[in-house]
Chain A
Amino acid sequence: MPIQVSIPTPLRGLTSNQDTVEGSGSTVSEVIQNLEKAFPGIGERLVDEQGNLRRFVNIYVNGEDVRFLDDKNTAIKDNDEVSIVPAIAGG
Chain B
Amino acid sequence: MATEFFNHLKCRECGRRYPKKAIHVCEFDFGPLEADYDYDLIRSAISRAKIESRPQTMWRYRELLPIDAEPTVGLQVGYTPLVKADRLAKALGVKELYVKNDTVNYPTLSFKDRVVSVALSRAKELGFKIVACASTGNLANSVAANAASAGLKSYVLIPADLEASKVLNSLVYGTNVIGIHGAYDQVNRLCSEIAGKYGWGFVNVNLRPYYAEGSKSMGFEIAEQLGWRIPTHTVVPMASGSLLTKITKSYEEAIKVGLLDETPFHIHGAQATGCNPIAFAHKSGTDLIKPQPKPNTIAKSLAIGTPADGYYAVNTMRKTGGSAEDATDAEIIEAIKLLAETEGIFAETAGGVTVACAKKMIASGKIADNGPIVLCITGHGLKTSEALQEHLAKPRLIKPSLREFDQLIAAEEALEAAQ
Contacts and interface: CB of A to CB of B under 8 A. Distances in A.
Contacts of B211: 89
B306 A86 contact: no
Contacts of B184: 91
Given A63-B186, A89-B212, A91-B188, A6 B32 contact: no
Interface stretch (A22-30, A32-40, A50-58, A72-80): A50-58
A89 B309 contact: yes
B215 to A, nearest CB: 10
Contacts of A10: 23, 25-27, 30
B196 A56 contact: no
- Interface core residue of A54, A55, A60, A89 (most chain B CB under 10 Å): A89
A69 B24 CA distance: 27
B293 interface: yes
B323 to A, nearest CB: 21
Interface residues of B, number: 51
Nearest to B191: A88
Contacts of B191: 88
Interface residues of A, number: 26
Contacts of B27: 10-11, 13, 45
Interface string B50-76: 000000000000000000000000000
Contacts of B212: 89
B139 interface: yes
A7 to B, nearest CB: 9
B232 interface: no
- Interface core residue of A10, A65, A91 (most chain B CB under 10 Å): A91
- Interface core residue of B185, B191, B196 (most chain A CB under 10 Å): B196
A91 B239 contact: yes
A87 B193 contact: no
A66 B61 CA distance: 42
Given A45-B29, A54-B30, A88 B208 contact: yes
